[in-house]
Structure 1
Amino acid sequence: METVTSLRERINVLSHKDPADVIIKNGRIVNVFTAEIIEADIAIKNGYIAGIGEFHKAEKVIDAKGHYIVPGFIDAHVHVESAMVPPSEMARVLLPNGVTTIVTDPHEIANVAGAAGIDYMLEEAKGSPLDMFVMLPSSVPATPFENNGATLDAESLRALYNRENVIGLAEVMDFPSVASGAKDILQKIIDAKTHGGRIDGHGAGLTRENLNNYLAAGIRTDHESTTAEEALDRVRAGMFVMLREGTVARDLLATLPAVNEKNSHRFCFCTDDKLIPDLVSEGSINYNVKLAIQNGVSPIMAIQMATINAAACHNLLYLGAVAAGYQADLLFLEELETVKITKVMKRGEVVVADGERFEAAFPKKTTTFTSPEIRHSLKVSDLRLKLLSDHVRVIGMLPNSLFTEKLEVKLDRVDGEFVPDSARDLAKMVVVERHKGTGNVGLGIVSGFGLTRGAFATSVAHDSHNIVAVGMNDSDIELAVKALTEARGGIVVVADGKVEEILPLRIAGLLSDQPFEEVARCLKSLEKAFGTISSAKGFDPFLTLSFLTLPVIPEYKLTDQGLFDFEAFSFVPLEITE
């Protein structure tokens, strides 16, 4: 926390009255304001940069040995819950990858546990070397087309703006409510403006004409562009555009051609949803930067997008630059082109060197959280899918995409029921409402997972996080749901009446209480187990499944209330009778 004393001490460093805490010498500083490389000392005091120039008095001197010094990377939009670990564990993954700040939307845990879930995330992040800024969830529930665990209306959110590190309103997904002027969403937007916060958009599938509704309401960002044309439409309309590269939504290469020297200041990077194994093997925003450089973006421009642009997007005035008055979040790079990180400093302290964390900088957390009970009474008989016609609508899963295809299929019924068919890649999909005990069970048909036997299921099902399962027979589907219920949530693979592998997610059915290394190991085991029941490859089946329940993303999705058609923005029957 900045004080008059700490500010005075920083100024005194400039007049050489007080020594700096740290002086970095022999570094090549990347100036993100002018795209220049400057050779000068960096003086740090009380976690902030006191000045750039020539300094001699310091408690500690670090020789940068000619390495480049760049600001810490910022993830402009991420759901921590998608990594399935709490914020303190997320920090242990992200800092070695040069990510020193994230802007997160905790709407996953909020949809399960409401304001208590948001409070847990904020409390769990305290004391971590990772700065976590929170955008309050705008869509809890996300839509009226599914049942979730909590409701956060405008009045409920208003008091949360007083929480430390809450900086705005998160992705507004319910575009029809904005376009129709629905009172509650407009009040949420007004409240965010009143508290000086930014407002994030969620413009999946929106045309440039649709964007007018967002801009008129004051929504200024979007991370849902999947083509360069969409990205340019948003920049031309006055938005900041976050180029996304996550586990499923890998849109960076398709959207990157929109970036040029004249408009690059309106682009930044995000991961949105990325699993621990991918964060470990690929990286986070450092991976986005590397991909951009490999595909024609100049290294300094890519670094600007990962730093000062992201800070400007969220009005984080003291982050994103190596300059006086900015927080001393610094990366040492051996080369700009390869983004090889040799040292990470957070608030003036070295927390990672040569890829190794200084564990003392990552305190173990013991934040407690009482997860809501999983409530349902599913029986095998609830899984029978009676059809009035053999001409049906099928969800066409698209690997490495949040979108799905609308498929129409002629199938053979058995005693009037749908029976999964591995030869035609047709599996049964089930969504079991788990929050309120409504008894709702959504039934559908999905293609693309390549299942040959068994079933798999997860309690991570965006955004209401009911239990979703896909399988080739009802008994294995029922066993998968039962196993998750007993584990208080998680991910499971079942085959031939046996649980092959399970990852318990005991915190709201979304987060593990184990170290990220154990989560990564278990996810690898789950992936191997999935390979024994499926012939499909080249995508993450668990995260892909978790998005097949999100009705605000085109085209067909399944909720606990039935099959949803994004284009019609309504439920449709499985059978095609015309």
Structure 2
Amino acid sequence: MKVDKIIKNVQVFNSFLKKFEWKDVAILNGKFFLIGIEATVDLKSDVTIDANGNYMIPGLIDIHMHIESSMVPPSIFSRAGLTHGVTTIVADAHEIVNVFGVEGMDAFMNEETEMDIFYAIPSSVPSTIPALETTGGFIGVEEVHQLLNHPKVIALGEAMNFDGIVNDPNSLIRQILHTIQEKKPFMPIEGHVPLVSGLDLAKFMYQGITADHTQQSPESIYEKISNGMFIELQRKSLTKENMEVVVNNQFYEYCAIVTDDIMADELLKGHLNANVQLAIEAGIPVEEAIYMSTYTPARRMGFQDRGAITSGFKADFILLEDPATMEASAVYKAGNLVHKKGNEIAYPETKPVFPASFYSSVHCEKAKWDDFKIQAEGQTAVCNVIRIAEVGTFTECVQREIPIKNGYLDWESSGLALIVVMERYGKSGNIAYGLVENALTEKGAIGTTWAHDHHNLMVMGTSIEDLVVAQNKLVEIQGGYLTVKNEIVVSCCPLLIGGIISDEPIQVIGQKLSEVRQGMIDLGYRNANEIMSFSTLSLPVSPAIKITDKGLFDVRSQRQIPLVEEIR
């Protein structure tokens, strides 16, 4: 019998025994055909590969991620992800959908990619309700019905609206959840369940939510898994303390390693493979880490044709010199070589093309000096302030006294930064103001249209002059990231498509974003992920206080918080 390819001298990961074995591997029509010791002796092939003692593991499967975080479209992302051994993903495209609605998701799904890209229906567009944030797109029950019929749709994306899920039986998110349960009862339902436990966790799970990917603690991992919830471990959850709970309780069947969000500059260095390596360094045995990034996620999403090296499964695999480092020597998709160590990330043969409207979507007026002055009467104002942390994206609300001069808050002398969110879709022209602690220590400003998840225009700074320059430049370039110092734009990463992605090569975007990151650091921003920390200051489902174009909000109660609490 003749097969397409035979690979010899290779240590094959057996997902069912969770160990490596010396085997020969035969591939036929893009699938694994036979795996065995000298079992290929009766087979013939024109292609025989000597793996030189390398390790073979299944292609990595990332079941919770947002392509838009890489700031490139699927066709460009596919090439980048494959270089790191990621052969299948399940993408929740709620960023592009928040900007363009179903048209945005259709545009993503219509792109041709070498990587297998499946999709979760964005369940939270907007992430809360229209009364709390303005978005360009909207997903309701009708849109869910429409997307359910698409062959690439296999899950419901993260349900985030805490109040709607837990307290309001008539909320849109409840209607969406019930629609999925009625029409596709076996479809996985992803959740966004940060700092939720006890009765509230039971209420979440009662509505059909079976997974959580948010920042975990040892206590939350144990409670959620012991109550039947599947845990998806992103980078900030891959700590030694958390991994100790997974190891001690043998939770490997109930956890998958995911990326959630990886920026363009980070994607140049690694993707899911980097998180797998981090899990190993944090204490997960190598074989279990591979299992949690291949077979466990495949079963979570219902895949019956991938995640293991066995007869009949897709021949998606990685060759590694050392599985503990997860650096691919070669990556194969459906039995074909798609990347070899040392090769550059390739650009798609055809440049991505989107509807013309996608390239002109920021409909803000250019701001003036007066747009950053806040009127107030009295001597001082007690203000509610967003305090950011140096690790993670959680915030807390603190109160600070701000002097009032000539009828305006003198925020520039307060040691705080002013944050302003401007509605960018041409619907209302809303402008909301807030103050931020532990943000910028130097005179300057930062800005973006990549503001989770509504993606309105957001600027933050310590001087009005720099804020004006930042906002005006964002309008001019139709979105992106930038930093300003002394009224000069010192770093800029334009994102022309919807203000959130670019069609430039990933290497170009990565370099520009790296310069923005350094620009933020130079202005005094301190966080383990500066860009994500800034971009999520506008995410009203991430604890505890955030800002949208409608104002400041307490995340748990969805109660609006006034900027000025008291005048003295």
TM-score class, shorter: over 0.9
Structure 2 residue aligned with 1:519: 509
Preserved CA contact (<8 Å) 2:402 2:411 = no
Structure 2 residue aligned with 1:403: 394
Distance 1:42 1:385 in 2: 69
Structure 2 residue aligned with 1:562: 551
Distance 1:358 1:542 in 2: 23
Structure 1 residue aligned with 2:317: 330
Question: In structure 2, the residue corresponding to 1:413 is in which secondary structure?
Answer: strand
Counterpart pick for 1:198 among 175, 185, 188: 188
Give the superposition deviation at 1:67. Answer: 1.2
Distance 2:286 2:519 in 1: 40
Distance 1:363 1:421 in 2: 50
Structure 2 residue aligned with 1:545: 534
Question: In structure 1, the residue corresponding to 2:62 is in which secondary structure?
Answer: strand
Distance 2:434 2:496 in 1: 28
Mark the CA change 1:130 to 1:68 in structure 2 (over 3 Å): closer, same or farther.
same
Distance 2:169 2:457 in 1: 32
Counterpart pick for 2:16 among 28, 33, 56: 33
1:34-49 matches, within 5 Å, as: 34-49=17-32
Distance 2:349 2:16 in 1: 34
Counterpart pick for 1:364 among 320, 343, 350: 350
Give the superposition deviation at 1:202. Answer: 0.6
Distance 1:437 1:451 in 2: 34
Structure 1 residue aligned with 2:452: 462
Root-mean-square deviation (CA), in Å?
Answer: 2.0
Structure 2 residue aligned with 1:375: 363
Structure 2 residue aligned with 1:132: 117
Q: Which moved more, 1:460-469 or 1:292-301?
A: 292-301
1:116-515 matches, within 5 Å, as: 116-124=103-111, 126=112, 128-144=113-129, 145-179=132-166, 180-182=168-170, 184-193=172-181, 194-195=183-184, 196-245=186-235, 249=236, 252-260=239-247, 262-281=250-269, 283-356=270-343, 359=346, 363-369=349-355, 370-371=357-358, 373-377=361-365, 378-387=367-376, 389-421=380-412, 425-515=415-505
Structure 2 residue aligned with 1:71: 58
Give the superposition deviation at 1:72. Answer: 0.8
Question: In structure 2, the residue corresponding to 1:59 is in which secondary structure?
Answer: coil
Distance 2:407 2:547 in 1: 21
Distance 2:518 2:141 in 1: 44
Preserved CA contact (<8 Å) 2:75 2:352 = no
Q: Which moved more, 1:131-140 or 1:91-100?
A: 91-100
Distance 1:410 1:152 in 2: 41
Give the superposition deviation at 1:554. Answer: 0.7
Mark the CA change 1:106 to 1:171 in structure 2 (over 3 Å): closer, same or farther.
same
Distance 2:126 2:33 in 1: 45
Mark the CA change 1:254 to 1:415 in structure 2 (over 3 Å): closer, same or farther.
farther
Give the superposition deviation at 1:105. Answer: 0.5
Structure 2 residue aligned with 1:52: 35
Question: In structure 2, the residue corresponding to 1:519 is in which secondary structure?
Answer: helix
Superimposed CA distance per residue, residues 101-131 of structure 1 (whole angstroms, 9 cap, x where no aligned partner): 111110001001000100111112x2x2211
Preserved CA contact (<8 Å) 1:30 1:37 = yes
Distance 1:541 1:237 in 2: 34
Aligned identity (percent) is 32
Give the superposition deviation at 1:499. Answer: 2.2
Question: In structure 1, the residue corresponding to 2:383 is in which secondary structure?
Answer: strand
Give the superposition deviation at 1:393. Answer: 1.2
Superimposed CA distance per residue, residues 151-188 of structure 1 (whole angstroms, 9 cap, x where no aligned partner): 11011121112223111110000122122222532332
Preserved CA contact (<8 Å) 2:239 2:282 = no
Structure 2 residue aligned with 1:7: none
Question: In structure 1, the residue corresponding to 2:46 is in which secondary structure?
Answer: strand
1:93-132 matches, within 5 Å, as: 93-124=80-111, 126=112, 128-132=113-117
TM-score (norm 1): 0.91
Gapped regions of structure 1 (runs ≥ 5): 1-15
Code of the aligned partner of 1:274: I
TM-score (norm 2): 0.93
Mark the CA change 1:259 to 1:382 in structure 2 (over 3 Å): closer, same or farther.
same
4+ runs deviating over 6 angstroms: none
Gapped regions of structure 2 (runs ≥ 5): none
Q: Which moved more, 1:336-345 or 1:362-371?
A: 362-371
